[in-house]
Structure 1
Amino acid sequence: MIHLDNVSYTFKKGGGVTNVNLDINESEFIFMIGPTGSGKTTLLRLIYMDLLPQVGNIVVNKFTSSGMKSKKLPKLRQKIGMVFQNYLLMNDRDLFENIALPLHVLGSPKRQIMELVEKSLDKFGLSNKVNHYPHELSGGEQQRACVARAMIKEPDILLADEPTGNLDPVTSFELIKIFENINKAGTTILMASHNYNLIKGRGHRIIEIQNGSVRS
């Protein structure tokens, strides 16, 4: 499903990833552990093809980074959901509109948007917050909203960049359980974290990233 072959991407000011070889299978749940600045975000951006490798090749759902053209990116990203540490919710839109945003981008019919968003709100325990704005939600609620938005288009792959970074321990474990339920339904998940205590002993594959190098 995801294949990285000798992938490197470095920034002029330093940082990035070097010589990464990684295979992620369909329906797998992988934790990527490493300190801040180790290259976790860069690797996620490469898989999302927000960055294209300077060396090597990436294959995601049969899309290859070699010769990737911008017109093909939307089709690739329809099948990838992104969850961010800082939520990136739109402050001038209520919860319904935030979660519905990817469906509007896809041009989905209004009735379908209504049905899918209502189902998503219920699934993630946010039905009573439908008309609330991001600043009216707790950190945990904002992160659940971010997950709901990422999953609204039913992606094959979910990429999560330090999703528990701003959450307390209890809320963090609750979010991990949400991810595990999503994974049980068949979604492939790659979650980046610097908190080993949060992810150890859960039975999922852990890869380590240090100074841009990955160890499985």
Structure 2
Amino acid sequence: MEPAIARAISLEVGHPEPFADDELDTIVTLGVLHARSISGLERCPSLRVLVLSGYGAGDLPDLGRFSDLSSVTVSDSDLRDLRLVHTATSLLSLNVERSLVSDISPTVECAGLGWLDVTGNPLSDESYREVLPELRAKGVDVRASEEREWSLTRALHDAGLPFAYCLHGDHHRLSRPGLTRTGNPEGGHISISPEELEHLLATSPEDIEPLFDDPNRTPRHV
């Protein structure tokens, strides 16, 4: 069993491994921090809500065995591939904010999907300009980055910096999704204005990642 899955289950059942099948069958909601796979999750067949924070794998595996799974959150993650998302046939809500997804076309196959959050992902032009409107036309409540933030996230990826740039309330935040470049992807986000980020991308993109050494920095307006 993936250690992060085991830790999450331990919190739910009140003791470490081994776990009995009958107690695993009672788990309907599970929040997992920094998993690199979902190995062992299949032992929780009644799962309805799954939260993977700081997920370290690039794909979302076949979730078809979870017949009641209605809500999946994979945030601040290395997730890139949604090809198997349609296997979760009961899926109503999907949140993949601040991840590495470029192609969201597989979500169109999710018949019951009513909520989708793809904020902070480097969506392709097709996904941003064609698939998002298609989903909205189908009645899906979609959350996505505004054009400027989306364009900056794409520019970061083009510069070899697989980061996410989002608007959080009144502040813009830059983060490093997944476990490749940080051990704390869900935290340590830095505040930086669009003007400063655009300036750095145009003049010295190599100076962007060192900004994370000072998470309390004050953004400069260029």
Q: TM-score, normalised by structure 2?
A: 0.31
Greater Cα radius of gyration, structure 1 or 2: 2
Query: Relative contact order: is structure 1 or structure 2 higher (C-alpha 8 Å, sep ≥ 6)?
Result: 1
Q: Which of the pair is proportionally richer in helix?
A: 1
Q: Which of the pair is proportionally richer in strand?
A: 1
